[in-house]
């Protein structure tokens, strides 16, 4: 039976590839650079980039830390090999430790996690600037709505080819593209600290959260109606709305004043 979030993956693949081609062409850049983690989002975004502009114009970058499971690194390497694109590995743990040591204040768990994402962004832009490439973002719509990304980290990119797809839709696209099943089904894992998974920071699994967000933000359903249709408690609805509201600054330009009058 067809679910509410299912879509024509072949048609959407063609639309995303046309988008990637257009953005690259209009930019004057010669290629793309993308960080790949071994997770489904970067796997799908990377595969679409390769199909859109060719393997020779896509640089895949692995940026593991001491927290990165070896299986994820192996999956990321396997994807780059499957695509036939160039690949570089830039371990960032020493960069993280060096920055924290230089700045010296007590490092909180969240601060250390976010600096990893921001250093990855710096690595990607170093390669981008050096080789006249655009930085491809791998964020999806679920993460965008919930603000589940690091400001000026994985949120700092030049284009977002899958940001219109909910996490469950990214998995659907992954199956369509022939991404290995173990990657498509892999639990979302930012891996910013040992054993870190998305679920520990979210009020529900993405399968239900995506339905909640669809009804709330796409269909503009009420809290009560969303609770009934998505099959979740209203506490989950409130938490989704709270996360969306508190992270509004991540989706907007920084506040500023208008030019002075007179």
Q: What percent of the chain has pLDDT over 90?
A: 84
Quick check: is 1 in a domain?
no
Residues 67 and 92 in one domain: yes
Range of the domain at 232: 203-252
Residues 112 and 43 in one domain: yes
Quick check: is 14 in a domain?
yes
H-helix or E-strand containing 140? none
Q: Which of 197, 214, 233 is the last residue of a domain?
A: 197
Tokens of 156: 């700092």
pLDDT digits over 73-108, tens only? 999 999 999 999 999 999 999 999 999 889 877 668
Residues 163 and 49 in one domain: yes
Closest CA to 161 of 31, 13, 38: 13
Residues 136 and 224 in one domain: no
Quick check: is 80 in a domain?
yes
Per-residue pLDDT of the chain (262 residues; tens, 9 = 90+): 468 999 999 999 999 999 999 999 999 999 999 999 999 999 999 999 999 999 999 999 999 998 899 999 999 999 999 999 999 999 999 999 999 889 877 668 888 889 999 999 999 999 999 999 999 999 999 999 999 999 999 999 999 999 999 999 999 999 999 999 999 999 876 656 565 555 577 888 999 999 999 999 999 999 999 999 999 999 999 999 999 999 999 999 999 999 998 7
Residues 226 and 134 in one domain: no
DSSP state, 196?
-
Quick check: is 2 in a domain?
no
Cα distance between residue 155 and residue 84, in whole Å:
27
Residues 188 and 238 in one domain: no
Task: Look at the chain and report how many structural domains it folds into.
Answer: 2
Query: Contact, 56 vs 159, CB < 8 A?
Result: no
CA distances from 123 to 84, 105, 197, 214 (A): 22, 23, 23, 34
Q: Which of 165, 182, 197 is the last residue of a domain?
A: 197
pTM confidence score:
0.93
Cα distance between residue 252 and residue 247, in whole Å:
9
Number of H helices, E strands in the chain: 11, 4
Query: Contact, 72 vs 43, CB < 8 A?
Result: no
Query: Contact, 151 vs 249, CB < 8 A?
Result: yes
Which residues are 62's β-sheet partners? 89
Quick check: is 261 in a domain?
no
Residues 112 and 153 in one domain: yes
Residues 64 and 157 in one domain: yes
Cα distance between residue 88 and residue 84, in whole Å:
13
Residues 209 and 191 in one domain: no
Q: What is the CATH number of the domain that holds 122?
A: 3.40.50.620
Residues 147 and 127 in one domain: yes
Quick check: is 4 in a domain?
no
SS3 of residue 61 by DSSP? strand
**Number of residues in the chain:** 262
């Amino acid at each position: 039976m067809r679910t509410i979030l299912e879509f024509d993956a072949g048609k959407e693949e063609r639309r995303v590839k046309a988008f990637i081609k257009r953005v690259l062409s209009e930019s004057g850049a010669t290629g793309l650079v993308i960080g790949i983690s071994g997770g489904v989002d970067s796997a799908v975004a990377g595969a679409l980039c390769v199909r859109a502009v060719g393997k020779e114009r896509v640089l895949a970058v692995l940026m593991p830390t001491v927290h990165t499971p070896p299986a994820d690194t192996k999956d990321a390497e396997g994807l780059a090999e499957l695509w036939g694109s160039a690949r570089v590995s830039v371990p960032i743990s020493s960069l993280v430790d060096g920055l924290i040591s230089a700045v010296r204040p007590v490092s909180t768990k969240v601060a250390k996690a976010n600096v990893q994402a921001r250093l990855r962004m710096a690595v990607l832009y170093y390669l981008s600037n050096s080789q006249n490439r655009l930085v491809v973002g791998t964020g999806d719509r679920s993460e965008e709505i919930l603000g589940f990304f690091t400001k000026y980290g994985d949120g700092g990119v030049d284009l977002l080819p899958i940001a219109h797809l909910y996490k469950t839709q990214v998995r659907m696209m992954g199956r369509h593209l022939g991404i290995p099943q173990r990657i498509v089904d892999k639990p979302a894992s930012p891996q910013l600290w040992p054993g870190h998974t998305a679920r520990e920071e979210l009020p529900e699994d993405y399968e239900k959260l995506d339905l909640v967000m669809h009804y709330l933000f796409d269909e503009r359903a009420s809290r009560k109606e969303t609770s009934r249709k998505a099959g979740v408690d209203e506490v989950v609805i409130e938490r989704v709305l709270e996360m969306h509201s508190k992270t509004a600054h991540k989706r907007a330009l920084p506040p500023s004043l208008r030019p002075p009058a007179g």
